Structure 1
Amino acid sequence: MRSLSVRGAAALLLALTGSSAVAAPHQSRAAPRYVTNRQRADAVKDAFQVSWDGYYKYAFPHDSLRPVTNGYADDRNGWGASAVDAFSTALVMGKWDVVGQILAYVPTINFDNTTDSVSLFETTIRYLGGLLAAHDLITGPLSDNVSKTANVTAILTQAKRLADNLKVAFNTTSGVPDNNLYFNPPRRGGSDTNGIATIGTLVLEWTRLSDLTGDPQYGALAQKGESYLLSPSPALGQPFPGLLGTNVRLSDGQFVDGNGGWGGGDDSFYEYLIKMYLYDPQRFAKYRDRWVAAADSSIKYLASHPTTRPDLTYLAMWQNTTLRFTSQHLACFNGGNFILGGLTLDEPRYTRFGLALVDGCHDTYTSTATGIGPEIFSWQDASLVPLNAPNNPGPPAAQAAFYNASGFWIDNGAYVLRPEVLESYYYAYRATGDPKYQDWAWAAFQAINATCRVGSGYSDIKDVNKPGGGGFDDFQESFWFAEVLKYSYLIHAEDAPWQVKADHTNQFVFNTEAHPIRVAGGQERA
C-alpha cells in the first residue's frame, strides 16, 4: 500500500520539488516450480495471530493498535481499519476464528458516521478493497469454507453503501475527484487539485464494484477521473513519454506541474495501469499501452546506478526533465510491478529489469544495522548528471563510508511497517521460482519480527540503522495485516487460486493494499 500520509516523506518530496502497444497474450507458458515451506508460513501465521490478538483485545473495533501502551487510534475514521484490512489475509491463511470475528463485525460498521476528514484514496484501497476481496474469496475459491449467511451478503451491501457515500468526491466540473471529503452529510473538502496516485488508484475497486452489482455508475466515475491521466495535458504534465507530473486541477483536469516519480503521490497510478489490463484486457487495452509507455521511459530515462555500486539499479525521480537521485521504501514496489508487466505481456525485458530493481531494494535491507530498509534514501549517479551538480550532490560526510559500501545513504531512517520490498520479493519468486527470494523474504520477516515486535503487537520504528531500531512510535499500521503479513505468508505457502501466476492463469489481481480482487469474466463487464 502506497500511503500518502507518510511522516517525513511528504516534506522531502515537496522539497525536491511514444511507445507501441503490445498484443494481448493468449498462449500459456509453463509455470515455475514452487516449493512450500510450511514452517516459515506457520511462523508468519503466528505473527498474524499475535498482532490480531493484541488489536482485538485493546483496540477493536477502532482502527489501529498502539502496542506499546495497549491503546488505540482512530486514524481511518473509526470504522475498524485493521479488521477490514486483516479480512483477506485471515481468509487466505485459513484463520477461521478471526474470519468469523470480522465477518460478524462487518454488518455493524456505520459508514455514514464519522466526524473526521475522509480520504477517498485510503478509504478505497483499505475498506472498499478489503470488502470486495473478502466477497470475491468467500463467494469464489473459499466458498466451501465459510457458511452462507446474511453476514456474507452484507459484505457487498456494505461496500456499496460506502461507495455511495464516497461518490460525492466526483462532483467536480471535470469529474476529477476531490480526495478530501466529509460525511454527515457527504460533501467535498474543497480542494483545488488532486494527485495522480489518489486519482488513479480507484479504478480497480470501483470498476469491480460495478461489475459485481451490475450498476455501471461506480466504474464510470473512477474511469472518468482516470481519463485525464491517460490523455494528459498540457505538455508540462508529461515530461517524459508516459511519465507524468503529480497534480491535476479539479476544475478542468489539467496538470499543474511536471514533477514525479515512482514513489509516494504517484506510485500506484503506474501500478494500476498494468493491473487494470490484467483485470480485463478487453476493456482496458489503453491502460496497457500507457503502462508500456511509462515502463519504456523509466528504463530509458530513469534507470540509475550509484557511483559506488554500479551493480545496483534504482529509478530516479524527476522535476520536469531534471532528475533527482532519491527514492523511497514506497517506490520499491516497482520491481514487482515491472515483473508483473513482463509476465502479463510476455515481455522478458520488463521482468529482467524488475528483477534488477528487486536486487537494488534488497541491498537497502541487507546494508542496515537492523536488516530493514529505510523510508527514504539517495545516491549519486555519474552517468546521467555531472557529479556534484545541484541535483546530484554527494553524501553527508557522516555517511560517506556507508555510501561507499552500500550504494545509498539514508535520508529518513524510519520504518513504518511497510510492505513494498517484500511485495517485490513475492513477485520475483512467483515469476522465477528461485528460492533465493523466499530466503530474502524470510530474512526480512525475521528482521522485522526481531525489531518491531513490542508489547501487544508490532510497531513502527524510528531508525533502521540503529541497533534495536532506535525506539518505537507505538503504532501498528492496518496495512501490516493486509500486506506485510500476507506477502510474507504467500511466498512460502502452497499454490492457490489467489496466488500470482506466471502462466497466464491468474484468477485474481492484488489491489495496492494487497487485497486479491477476482479478475473479470465476460458476464461481469459493465
Structure 2
Amino acid sequence: MASFTSLLVGGLAVLGCISPANAGPAQARPRAPSYQAYPERAAAVMEAFDRAWDGYYQYAFPNDSLKPISKSFENDRNGWGASAIDALSTALIMGDKKVIDQIVDYIPTINFNKTNDDSVPVSLFETTIRYLGGLLSAHDLLSGPLNNYVGSEEKLAAILDQAEHLAENLKVAFNTKSGIPINDVLFGPPRVTDEKTNGLATIGTLILEWTRLSDKTGNKEYAELAQRAESQLLLPQPRALAEPYPGLLGTNVDVETGEFVDSVGGWNGGTDSFYEYLIKIYIYDTSRFTKHKNRWVDAIDSSIKYLASHPTSRPDLTFLAAYQGNNNLTFRSGHLACFDGGNFILGGLVLDRQDYVNFGLALVDSCHETYATTATGIGPEGFAWQDNKVGFNATNNPGPPAEQSDFYADAGYWITSSYYILRPEVIESIYYAYRATGDSKYQDWAWEAFKAINETCSVGAGFSEIENVNVKGGGNFTDFQDSFWFAEVLKYSYLIQAEEAPWQISADHDNEWVFNTEAHPMKVVGKHI
C-alpha cells in the first residue's frame, strides 16, 4: 500500500491540492527516465494471452466473445468476431505469429453488410473503437514496423478495404440535421434508429479513428463527418447548461439541434473518453487540432480546481468527483474512470506540464489503492467516498453504509459495485505512470494486478468476469470474456514489462504512436510529441 509518507519523499505532497492558480503554463521537464524490461513477466502475460486466445479460437471463433466455463460464445458485438479484431494489435506487439496469421486470414471473410441479428442495433461508438480502430491499427503496424508479419500485399490491402467498407455502412449515423450522429444504427440495409439524443463520449470518441481512415484512404468525408460532430462539443450550446465548469460538459446532446440537454458529467462512463480524445487527437496531429488541446487544458484545470476530492478516512487519496450541474458534486467513481490518471500524465508529458503529470500520478496512486485493499487484489467496478471538505451532513456527502464502515476507515472508499468485468483502466494508468517516471514500483503494481487477475479470473477455457472482488476467489463467475481483455488488459500488462519498441509511450517529445481508447496504437501523422 502506498503511504502518504512515500508521496512526501517523492516531492509530491501537494498533489491533491494543485490548482491552476499555482500552475504555470509550462514547466521544465525532468530528464527522461530510463526503463527496465522484465522478460519473464512479459512471457507470463503472453502465456495468458495464448491461453485465452486458444479457448476463444476453439470454442467461439469467429463469433464475438468466449463464454469460458460453458465453452460457448456470445455475439455481443454484431457477430463479426470482436475478440479476433481486438486481439490483433496485441498479437502483433507480442510477435505472436500463429495468432496474427489466423486473424489476418479471417479479416477478408467478414461480412460487414449484415449482423448476426439485424433487429439488434449496431453501436457506432463500440464498432468504431473496436472494429474500425483495430483494423486501422493493424494496417498501420503491418505496413510499418511489423511488415514482416504480413504475408502479401493483398492481405494488407484487405485490412484497409474492410475498414473503409465498415465505415461506409456506419456513416448513415451522421445523417442528422446537426451532424451529431445517432449511436444505434441498424444494418440490412444500414439505417438510423429514432434516437433523440446521443452521449458526450459516444459522440466525442470517433474523431481519431475516422480522421485516421481519411488520412489513410484519401477520402476526406470520414474525417469531415466526425469533425463536424465534434465541433458541436467544442462550442457547446446552450453554454450555461452545457458547460457547468469551464471545459467540463454535460452528458446528453439532442441529435437534431446539437444542443446539450443536461449538465450531468465527470470522468465516468458516458463522458470519459471525450476528454481522453481531446489530447489524443492533438498528439495525432498538432497542426490540425490545437482547439482540441486547448479544450483539454480547460477540462483539466477545472477538474483539478473543482472535482479533486479526498476521502475523510484517507485524505492522502485523490479521486475526481462527478457533478450534476454547477456546485452539485457526487462522490462516486469507478474502475472505468481510473483511466483519468493516465490521461493527465500523457497530456502533461506532451505539453511540458509537470503539474498535470504530478496530479495524474496522485490519481494513479489512489486507483491503485482500490486494488491493494480488496480480498482479491482487484479493484471494484464502482466505489464511493465521503469528501473531507463538504459538510458531513450534506445530502450529497453521506458516510459509508454501516456494513462497510470498517472497510472505509482503512481503504478510503466503499464498494458500490463489487464486480470486476476484466477492465483495463487501472493497469492502463499505471503503464503511463511508469513511462513518465521510469519508477519500477509501477511495474511491480501492474505485475501484482496481473497476477491477481490471472489467479482469480482464470477458469475453464479462458478468463471470466467475477461478481465480488472483496471475497477471496471473487465469488461467482459470470462466464463471459469481453474482447477488451485481449485489446487492453493483456496489452498494457505486457507493454509495462516489455522491451523498448516504437509504440511505447515516451517521456521525450518523440512519440510516434497514440493509443485509441481500446488500446489500438495509431500512427502519428504530425510532429512527434
Asked if 1 retains the 8 angstrom alpha-carbon contact of 2:250 and 2:262, the reply is: yes
Per-residue CA distance 1:465-484 (angstroms, 9 max, x = gap): 01110110000000000000
Q: Which runs of 4+ in 1 moved over 4 A?
A: 19-25, 27-30
Q: Percent identity?
A: 64
Whole-Å separation in 2 of the counterparts to 1:420 and 1:373 = 10
Per-residue CA distance 1:439-491 (angstroms, 9 max, x = gap): 00000000000000000000000010011101100000000000000000000
* Structure 2 residue identity aligned to 1:41: A
Asked if 2 retains the 8 angstrom alpha-carbon contact of 1:54 and 1:457, the reply is: yes
Match for residue 10 of structure 2?
none
Query: TM-score, normalized by length of structure 2?
Result: 0.93
Asked if 2 retains the 8 angstrom alpha-carbon contact of 1:29 and 1:504, the reply is: no
Q: CA deviation at 1:22?
A: 9.8
Q: Does 1:222 align with 2:226?
A: yes
Q: CA deviation at 1:30?
A: 4.5
Whole-Å separation in 2 of the counterparts to 1:514 and 1:257 = 30
Match for residue 167 of structure 2?
163
Per-residue CA distance 1:110-129 (angstroms, 9 max, x = gap): 00011121000000000000
* Structure 2 residue identity aligned to 1:190: D
Per-residue CA distance 1:370-424 (angstroms, 9 max, x = gap): 00000000000121x2113110001000000000000000000000000000000
Q: CA deviation at 1:89?
A: 0.1
* Structure 2 residue identity aligned to 1:64: S
Asked if 2 retains the 8 angstrom alpha-carbon contact of 1:363 and 1:406, the reply is: yes
Q: Does 1:128 align with 2:129?
A: no
Whole-Å separation in 1 of the counterparts to 2:393 and 2:29 = 49
Change (3 A) 1:340 1:278: same
* Structure 2 residue identity aligned to 1:196: L
Asked if 1 retains the 8 angstrom alpha-carbon contact of 2:515 and 2:521, the reply is: yes
Partner SS, residue 73 of structure 2: strand
Match for residue 3 of structure 1?
none
Within 5 Å, give how 1:107-506 maps onto structure 2. Answer: 107-114=108-115, 115=118, 116-234=120-238, 235-321=240-326, 322-383=328-389, 385-506=390-511
* Structure 1 residue identity aligned to 2:511: N
Partner SS, residue 264 of structure 1: coil
Which runs of no fewer than 5 residues in structure 1 stay unpaired? Answer: 1-18
Asked if 2 retains the 8 angstrom alpha-carbon contact of 1:422 and 1:441, the reply is: yes
Match for residue 15 of structure 2?
none
* Structure 1 residue identity aligned to 2:220: P
Match for residue 72 of structure 2?
71
Whole-Å separation in 1 of the counterparts to 2:526 and 2:429 = 27
Within 5 Å, give how 1:13-92 maps onto structure 2. Answer: 30-92=31-93
* Structure 1 residue identity aligned to 2:363: L
Asked if 1 retains the 8 angstrom alpha-carbon contact of 2:286 and 2:526, the reply is: no
Q: CA deviation at 1:73?
A: 0.3
* Structure 1 residue identity aligned to 2:315: P
Q: CA deviation at 1:199?
A: 0.1
Query: TM-score, normalized by length of structure 1?
Result: 0.94
Q: CA deviation at 1:143?
A: 1.4
Whole-Å separation in 2 of the counterparts to 1:30 and 1:377 = 36
Partner SS, residue 473 of structure 2: helix
Per-residue CA distance 1:273-329 (angstroms, 9 max, x = gap): 000110001100000000000000000000000000000000000000200000010
Q: CA deviation at 1:148?
A: 2.8
Whole-Å separation in 2 of the counterparts to 1:405 and 1:204 = 41
* Structure 2 residue identity aligned to 1:157: D
- Quote the RMSD (CA, aligned, Å): 1.7
Q: CA deviation at 1:86?
A: 0.1
* Structure 1 residue identity aligned to 2:468: D
More deviation in 167-176 or 110-119? 110-119
Asked if 2 retains the 8 angstrom alpha-carbon contact of 1:130 and 1:515, the reply is: yes
Whole-Å separation in 1 of the counterparts to 2:214 and 2:422 = 32
